[in-house]
Amino acid sequence: MPSVEGTRAGRSPGRRQWTWIGIAAVVVAALVTTLVLVLPRGADTSGRHVAERRTASQAFPGGLARQPSDQNQPGKQESAARAHGDAATARQIAVIAGQPIATWLTNTSVSATRATIRDVVRSAEQQRKTPVFVLYNVPDRDCGSFSKGGTEADAYLPWVRAAVRAMAGSRAVVLVEPDSIAQIHVCKRLGQGRLELLRKAVGELAGHGLTVYLDGGNENRVPTATMAKWLRSAGIDRTQGFFTNVSNFYRVDQERAYADRLADAVGGDPHFVIDVSRNGQGWRGTWCNPQGAGLGQPPHVTRGSTRLDALLWVKTPGLSDGTCNGGPAAGQWWESYALALVENRKRD
């Protein structure tokens, strides 16, 4: 018969083994709990270097700035109507002109572009709010369609650098090239060259205190997995995230659901903003000057409890999408359409 000491010695290794297994299980459980509670939704664990995303209030300090009068196209039309004694029209246009609207940078002239930026930044500083710019000058813009144009291929990055120098330190929000990524789906010649160019543009924009969003298309353009792959190729890891619905008409709930799916597919928890300038009546069957469209809800920054940072007026309501459905050239003021947008606006 073994002694008591021998019996204890024989059982001890087994007890120690189960003790260590129990400790290991507790440690693993604690680690899993920590990852679930601490890592943000959609956090990337693949080893990619992803920029830390800002909160909505950090991305848009002070809220949204209104454009200065010499940049506010609806405001100019409002003033013209008043000058001609048409107070009723002026009041209608004022519904548009009084809202914060993004400033589009489309002029290939470096000096003109920098002058516009400085004007908008100066006004925003006086308001203590955040200016929103749209870069819309990429080579082969709109794939030769209604908004065709842009810089020459070798002039784009110098143009971006000049714009960045004018914006640096302003804490501006910059939406980089609407349609530039989504359009690859139907304009194959853009391909990888477009993504590489955008990646270089992101490199120029990074590190200057700016909040940058890339083109995320909309819910009905590009398969989500494809769009996520293209966004990663375009450098989304160095940006705040992406924008959706620019110059389009989809409702917020639809676009938000799509944007959340896209953010999950991208990984790294990218944030997003949605253009609500003309989506008050939802999709109207076409993207180009649809009849019956209305202004969306007033633009505003969110409370920051989700990945949605802001609802913006990116497209200037009242500017034509192109020579379709009776419209003038793209970017031209169309008063009757502007008034219809006001009449059909979303009402709470």
Q: Are residues 6 and 118 in the same domain?
A: no
- Whether residue 32 is found in the same domain as residue 60: no
In a domain? residue 201: yes
Residue 45 included in any domain: no
85 and 27 fall within a common domain: no
| 229 and 202 co-located in one domain | yes
SS3 275: strand
**Is residue 48, in this structure, part of any structural domain at all?**
no
pLDDT tens-place values along the chain, 348 residues long: 333 223 223 334 444 444 444 444 444 444 434 433 344 454 454 578 998 999 999 999 999 999 999 999 999 999 999 999 999 999 999 999 999 999 999 999 999 999 999 999 999 999 999 999 999 999 999 999 999 999 999 999 999 999 999 999 999 999 999 999 999 999 999 998 999 999 999 999 999 999 999 999 999 999 999 999 999 999 999 999 999 999 999 999 999 999 999 999 999 999 999 999 999 999 999 999 999 999 999 999 999 999 999 999 999 999 999 999 999 999 999 999 999 999 999 987
Name the residue range of residue 25's domain: 1-38
- 162: tokens are 């000049």
pTM of the model: 0.87
Give the CA radius of gyration of the chain.
Answer: 26
- HSE (CB half, 13 Å, CA atoms) of 259? 30
181 and 68, same structural domain? yes
| Residues marked as catalytic | 142, 179, 321
pLDDT in tens, 99-117: 999 999 999 999 999 999 9
Q: Based on the domain organization, do 211 and 140 belong to the same domain?
A: yes
pLDDT one-digit tens code per residue, 227-240: 999 999 999 999 99
Q: Quick one: 75 and 177 in the same domain?
A: yes
Which residue pairs, CB below 8 angstroms and at least 24 apart, start in 153-161? Answer: 155/108, 156/197, 156/201, 157/197, 157/200, 157/201, 157/204, 158/110, 159/108, 159/110, 159/113, 160/135, 160/201, 160/204, 160/205, 161/204
Domain count, the chain: 2
Please calculate the CA angle 108-185-325 and round it to the nearest 5 degrees: 70
The structure tokens 């950090």 sit at 58
Q: Does residue 62 sit in the same domain as residue 34?
A: no
Q: The domain that contains 135 carries what CATH number?
A: 3.20.20.40
Calculate ∠ Cα 274-275-276, nearest 5°: 110
**Structural tokens at position 119:** 């004007």
Is the domain of 273 the same as that of 130? yes
Question: Which strand ranges, in their side-by-side order, compose the sheet holding 308-312?
Answer: 103-105, 132-135, 173-176, 211-215, 241-244, 271-275, 308-312, 300-301
133 lies in the same domain as 234: yes
Token pair for 51: 């920029």
Residues 146 and 256 placed together within one structural domain of the fold: yes
Same domain, 119 and 17: no
